Amino acid sequence: MQLVYRRCCGMDVHKESVTACLLLIDDDGEFRAEKRVYGTMTRDLQELAGWLKSQGADRIAMEATGVYWKPVWNILEAAGGFELLLVNAQHVKNVPGRKTDQKDSEWLADLLQHGLLRGSFVPPLEIRQLRDLTRMRTRVRQDLAKYANRIQKVLEDANIKLGTVASDVLGVSGRHMLKALIAGQDDPKQLADLARGRLRARIEALELALEGHFTGHHGFQLKTLFELLEFGEAQFNKLGIEIQRLITKLNAHAPMQAVADEAPGPEPEPLPLTPPLPLTPKSRLQTAVELLKTIPGVDELTASMLVAEIGANMDQFPGPHHLASWAGLCPGNNESAGKRRSGKIRKGSPWLRRGLCQAAWAASRTKNTYLAALYRRLIARKGKKRTIVAVAHTMLIIAYHILKRGCPYQELGADYFDRLDAKGLQKRLVKKLTSLGFQVTLTPTAQPSPQLQ
């Protein structure tokens, strides 16, 4: 096979050691291989980078082994001068037998030298930092849900039926009542009098619900859980602020978009001595988040998650369906002897899949939208779970085109599928009415409906 790279290195990365195999072809055509083992401390990795630079290696390949590849990648990336390649371990498995760290690194280097490796998507540093924060925020939000459930369990154990009267136990009124319970207040009337807003119309029901068997043991549990809940909410807010700072941070090397604070429209003639409207420069990530928020069902949290997981630059994906395949949101291929065994989706990014499925649930409940129409079209024959994955797949395709073209979402309308085949819709409706015992005569109007044109 043809040699593509003359100086390249393959690395087998572990928790405590890195085995590097350097393949060199000298100017006189002599082939040479050199193997070394380094530790994973920062000083050892910097020594590894210095050795590779001294040998003129410009391309490095390593397997995605847990999180152990990340510090190696970061230090080599900071050293500069290397083209790094992260490969999927399942794609580069060696033949069984004679397996050692040296053999693994040599196999990676050999594949890289012949140009047979396909690198995984590793976003730039700013996207990786944003991804860490959004994933941490998701974990904190899951912990908050756990604390809320534990608080509800303690209340049920004490026979405090607050959740049967108030729709949100941790709302403004609920929190006042919980703090009073923790402080030792046990009078149902005084507790019910802490209700605010529309909940005051149900004072009598609240008095009955708050009359329970609340002991000091319950108070201790409730106080501990409530402190954890408030601490988690404070951390959640801090993460949101830091994520917003990273999104709005202007990168000197990235193109910026200047947007006027006022809404676009016809500009009136300026008055004398009137300064021009201030322009607010927007970062590339902030622009991407605002574009993604135009999709039905996508809010600020989901938009920032999308940018953190797939980035704002779609050039790394050949097409929208490659992005869907990478995310694990497309049907799987499992066919043998002409029989389709299963269309189960493969393992992809669980963070991206979870966020998109949540957004798909929200989009399915919107009114007069294409995504809601798609949900209703598929739910009858595919079921809820498969339909939600299909809607999430469509939303990811939409997000790709929005980020690729730099334009907001354009609504197709709830009648999009009807307009695709108006005659077929007419035939089905007539058939349905005929089966119900009606004689149908269709008379076209002078002006057809613009929705079905």
Round to whole Å and give the CA distance between 285 and 158: 48
Contact 394, 374 (CB under 8 A): yes
Round to whole Å and give the CA distance between 19 and 36: 6
- Length of the chain equals 453
84 burial via Cβ count (<10 Å: 0-12, 13-18, 19+): middle
Residue 84 is inside which H or E element, if any? Answer: strand 83-87
Domain residue ranges in the chain: 7-120, 127-248, 285-332+347-405, 422-452
Q: 420 φ, ψ to 5°? A: -65, -40
Contact 355, 304 (CB under 8 A): no
- Look at the pTM and tell me if it is higher than 0.85: no
The answer to whether domain 7-120 has CATH 3.40.5.90 is no
Which string of DSSP letters, residue by residue, matches 305-325?
A: HHHHHH-S-GGGSSSHHHHHH
Round to whole Å and give the CA distance between 72 and 40: 8
Residue 280 is inside which H or E element, if any? Answer: strand 279-282
Contact 10, 108 (CB under 8 A): yes
Contact 347, 328 (CB under 8 A): yes
Round to whole Å and give the CA distance between 403 and 385: 27
Type of residue found at 196: R
- Helices (H), ranges, 249-328: 284-292, 300-310, 320-327
Contact 329, 353 (CB under 8 A): yes
- Cβ atoms < 10 Å from Cβ of 439: 6
Instruction: Specify the pairing of strand 59-63 against strand 7-13.
Output: parallel
State how far Cα 296 lies from the chain centre.
Answer: 16
Round to whole Å and give the CA distance between 273 and 259: 22
Tokens encoding 232: 């988690």
- Which residues 6+ apart lie within 8 Å of 139 measured at CB? none
- Helices (H), ranges, 158-283: 162-165, 172-183, 188-192, 203-209, 216-248
Whose tokens are 């079905």? That residue is 452
On the CB side of 225, how many CA atoms lie within 13 Å of its CA?
23
CA angle 229, 233, 238 (to 5 degrees): 150
Per-residue pLDDT of the chain (453 residues; tens, 9 = 90+): 677 788 899 999 999 999 999 998 877 777 888 899 999 999 999 999 999 999 888 899 998 888 899 999 999 999 988 999 999 877 777 655 557 778 888 888 888 888 888 888 888 889 999 999 999 999 999 999 999 999 999 999 999 999 999 989 999 999 999 999 999 988 999 999 999 988 999 999 999 999 989 999 999 999 999 999 999 999 999 999 999 999 998 654 444 443 333 334 444 444 344 454 444 567 889 999 999 999 999 999 999 999 999 999 999 899 999 999 889 888 777 767 777 777 777 788 899 999 999 999 999 999 999 999 999 999 988 899 999 999 999 999 999 999 999 999 999 998 888 888 888 888 888 898 899 888 888 888 766 555 555
